[in-house]
Amino acid sequence: MKICVAGLGIIGGSVCMSLKRAGYAVDGYDISQLPPTYALNNGIIDNVASEFHKYDIVFVAMPFKATVDFILNNGFKDGAIVSDICGVKKPIENAVSKSARNFNYVGCHPMAGKEVSGIKNACADLFDGRSMVITSNKDTDPAALDTVRALTKDMGFGYIVECSAETHDRKIAYTSQLAHVVSNAYVKDVDLDDCLGFTGGSFQDMTRIAGVDEAVWATLYLENAENLNEKISSLISSLAEIRDAISSGNEEELKKILARGRVLFDGSKKINGKKDIFVQKLR
Structure confidence by residue, pLDDT tens digits, 14-45 = 999 999 999 999 999 999 999 999 999 999 99
The residues facing 278 across adjacent strands are 162
- Kindly report which listed range (70-84, 186-200, 223-237) carries the lowest average pLDDT score: 186-200
Helix (H, G, I), strand (E, B) or coil at 110: strand
Query: What pLDDT is stored for residue 276 in this prediction?
Result: 84
Q: Distance between CA atoms of 254 and 231, rounded to whole angstroms?
A: 22
In this structure, what are the phi and psi dihedrals at residue 2, rounded to the nearest 5 degrees?
A: -95, 125
In the predicted structure, residue 275 carries a pLDDT above the cut 80: no
Q: Distance between CA atoms of 176 and 170, rounded to whole angstroms?
A: 10
Which ranges constitute the DSSP H helices of 2-123? 10-21, 34-41, 64-72, 90-97
Q: What is the DSSP string of 165-218?
A: HHHHHHHHIIIIIHHHHHHHHHT-SGGGTT-GGG--HHHHHHHTTTTS-HHHHH
Query: What pLDDT is stored for residue 270 in this prediction?
Result: 72
CATH of domain 169-266: 1.10.3660.10
Q: Distance between CA atoms of 57 and 55, rounded to whole angstroms?
A: 5
Question: Average pLDDT in the 89-100 region?
Answer: 95
Rounded to two decimals, the pTM is: 0.93
According to DSSP, residue 273 is labeled -
The answer to whether the CB of 107 falls within 8 A of the CB of 83 is yes
For CATH 1.10.3660.10, the residue range(s) in the chain are 169-266
Q: In the sheet where 104-110 sits, what is the strand order?
A: 47-48, 26-29, 3-6, 57-60, 81-84, 104-110, 131-135, 159-163, 277-281
| Planar angle of CA 214, 215, 216, nearest 5 degrees | 90
- Kindly report which listed range (110-119, 130-139, 237-246) carries the lowest average pLDDT score: 110-119
User: 3-164 domain in CATH 3.40.350.10?
Assistant: no
Give the burial string for 224-245 (b: 16+ CB within 10 Å, else e). beebbeebbeeeeeeeeeeeeb
In this predicted model, what pLDDT tens digit does every residue of 77-86 receive, in sequence order?
999 999 999 9
Query: What pLDDT is stored for residue 211 in this prediction?
Result: 87
The H or E element spanning position 5 is strand 3-6
Query: What pLDDT is stored for residue 186 in this prediction?
Result: 96
For CATH 3.40.50.720, the residue range(s) in the chain are 3-164
SS3 content of the chain, % helix, strand, coil (to 5): 50, 15, 35
Q: What is the DSSP string of 34-51?
A: HHHHHHHHTTS-SEE---
Candidates 13, 8, 278, 281; CA nearest to 152 is 281
Question: Average pLDDT in the 151-158 region?
Answer: 98
In the predicted structure, residue 227 carries a pLDDT above the cut 70: yes
Question: Average pLDDT in the 240-266 region?
Answer: 96
Residue 118 CB-density burial (10 A; 0-12 exposed, 13-18 middle, 19+ buried)? middle
Query: What pLDDT is stored for residue 274 in this prediction?
Result: 62
Query: What pLDDT is stored for residue 273 in this prediction?
Result: 55
Give the burial string for 126-159 (b: 16+ CB within 10 Å, else e). bbeebbbbbbbeeebeeebbebbbebbbebbbbb
pLDDT confidence bin for 271, thresholds 50/70/90: low
In this predicted model, what pLDDT tens digit does every residue of 46-76 receive, in sequence order?
999 989 999 999 999 999 999 999 999 999 9
Percentage of the chain beyond pLDDT 70 is 99
In the predicted structure, residue 89 carries a pLDDT above the cut 70: yes
